Structure 1
């Protein structure tokens, strides 16, 4: 029997030590849930957070937030608006910091700009009592940046451009310009971070070629970066960008569809640099005796290349004068550029000798 012999004997004689203890039924409902929660909190298996339901007008977006709040609209937030309306409440709280010194603003939003925008929209459209649920935290700016990045890194509704501009601000504000330190803090590779920083460096003229900066991906920036890093290639690409931006504006004014990002990149890369544009000829600069002081050559990839013979390294003053004269004459005519670097003027035949055209 389940009670055993001693238990059975106890029942027969009406009690005693062998009588089984009456088992109480388990707690259910509110009391059971309360006991379970208290046990989890005491064991450290659960952490409690304080949430507050507030008016979104008492919150502002943190200036370091990684989302472009001004770009949000009903279409961009339609999925979240529908979810909030169906649930009748906001399920996931926004992370905020308390604000002091401003009687109208209580919090600034660290994570949850779309939630803030959507709740604000619902309050203006037939749901005036809808509350914005927030979770206040105490965070430094750098901690707030890391938290926002961690929450939004996997979100598809955050554009590459928004991430790129956020990283570009953060690397200067929090990491003294060190990409290595920032990559270690975010636990990403330096090359991964560099691709976003390249996107953030695209000049405004290039950004204007796209229908919106938010459609530009890191792969587009990676394709354009090599051409933008060299002076002559960059000049030609910027000319093409100006024409393309005007074309995109005309399309927009006519109500047409802008060119896709891949088409824009293809058009910009198709712009070929002029090999003779602004490329001064290579030159040997000599002294009165015809001895070479230095050789200067303009390279389309590396820029200005200067070679100084070992025998002239001791003539620092003369070499410096020759280099100054060459640099000041880059935009001048050949006659001005070929004057000798010493005074009085050299004898005939001892002026700067051409070493060939540009390569």
Structure 2
């Protein structure tokens, strides 16, 4: 993480008080404690880390990672690291579920740590039942939870642009009343930076479906397509092409051919929106009579190209070439 990122992270955490374990937890749970010195008073604050069964945790509805897209392959590095270390090294941040929120054995919701949750769950289901999920329980509002999760994941490459954009769009309405400036100030980012991600979240569903995976949709893609979406005709052409691509991607998921890669998706969408390229008109046209197509002359980078229909008769070509040569001699005088 960058120094600025660390500073922002600490700024968010400084207002959050550590949650003491409930009396009923003290007997049955294993605790790890870490102490931190408070800079202003010199007092020590005990923070309790707890090992739990990951089945007792569920993802927070506002989590910025698409948990259903996690697999043993894209979490392979983390799974290997936990196996090598013999345990999870860094705790996930969770908050306790209360009242009607609890159910099916769940006690906590995960604010930060979805990949760690998946990795531990996968290990326990694949011959490593000794692994447990390391958590730190905090008392957070939804807005605090959002900011904390954003700060933890902002520099991570395994969170896609689209996942982050979708999270920002939801937070804008849920926590900031649609006020983009207020949200940018709370996140300590520029309005322009935030606006680009919000534009990505607002891409039409037809375009999103054109990609092989939402994690491959980049902020740059939305920026590239935005001018076309503002023109009614180009937008219609864009949506039509997106529908064709979506059909190809569905067929690929069903085993019929290979998926269309993201770069090619963007290229095809741009080409469809721009429409067919218009041929550059010839500089001069040489022909016997107006009814004939004749010979077209085009000039580019010091070279002359003559174009004519293969059906043009020899007699018509002879006249057209003679006219071209006369024009060429006149131009050289």
1:13 paired residue number: none
Q: Could you tell me how far apart the structure 2 residues matched to 1:274 and 1:123 are?
A: 54
Mapping for residues 3-42 of structure 1, pairs under 5 Å: none
1:61 paired residue number: 59
Q: Secondary structure at the match of 1:50?
A: strand
Q: Could you tell me how far apart the structure 1 residues matched to 2:272 and 2:46 are?
A: 59
Q: Secondary structure at the match of 1:270?
A: helix
Q: Closer, same or farther in 2 for the Cα pair 1:46/1:91, shift >3 Å?
A: farther
Q: Which moved more, 1:225-234 or 1:84-93?
A: 225-234
1:278 paired residue number: none
Can you list the C-alpha shifts for 1:159-183, whole angstroms capped at 9, x where unaligned?
A: 0011010001000000011111111
2:237 paired residue number: 236
Which runs of 5 or more residues in structure 2 are unaligned? Answer: 1-33, 277-333
Which runs of 5 or more residues in structure 1 are unaligned? Answer: 1-36, 276-359
1:88 paired residue number: 86
Q: Closer, same or farther in 2 for the Cα pair 1:80/1:45, shift >3 Å?
A: farther
Mapping for residues 148-227 of structure 1, pairs under 5 Å: 148-227=149-228
1:15 paired residue number: none
Give the structure with higher Rg (CA): 1
Using the TM superposition, give the Cα deviation of residue 239 of structure 1 relative to its aligned residue in structure 2, in angstroms: 1.2
Q: Closer, same or farther in 2 for the Cα pair 1:271/1:147, shift >3 Å?
A: same
Using the TM superposition, give the Cα deviation of residue 157 of structure 1 relative to its aligned residue in structure 2, in angstroms: 0.6
Q: Which structure has more RCO (C-alpha within 8 Å, separation ≥ 6)?
A: 2
Q: Secondary structure at the match of 2:51?
A: strand
Q: Secondary structure at the match of 1:52?
A: strand
Using the TM superposition, give the Cα deviation of residue 226 of structure 1 relative to its aligned residue in structure 2, in angstroms: 1.3
Give the paired residue count.
Answer: 239
Mapping for residues 1-359 of structure 1, pairs under 5 Å: 44=42, 47-101=45-99, 102=102, 104-254=105-255, 256-272=257-273
Using the TM superposition, give the Cα deviation of residue 245 of structure 1 relative to its aligned residue in structure 2, in angstroms: 2.1
Q: TM-score, normalised by structure 2?
A: 0.67
Q: Could you tell me how far apart the structure 2 residues matched to 1:207 and 1:57 are?
A: 32
Using the TM superposition, give the Cα deviation of residue 256 of structure 1 relative to its aligned residue in structure 2, in angstroms: 3.7
Q: TM-score, normalised by structure 1?
A: 0.63
Can you list the C-alpha shifts for 1:110-164, whole angstroms capped at 9, x where unaligned?
A: 0001101111111111111211110000100000000000000001111001101
Q: Which moved more, 1:218-227 or 1:265-274?
A: 265-274
Q: Could you tell me how far apart the structure 2 residues matched to 1:247 and 1:168 are?
A: 29
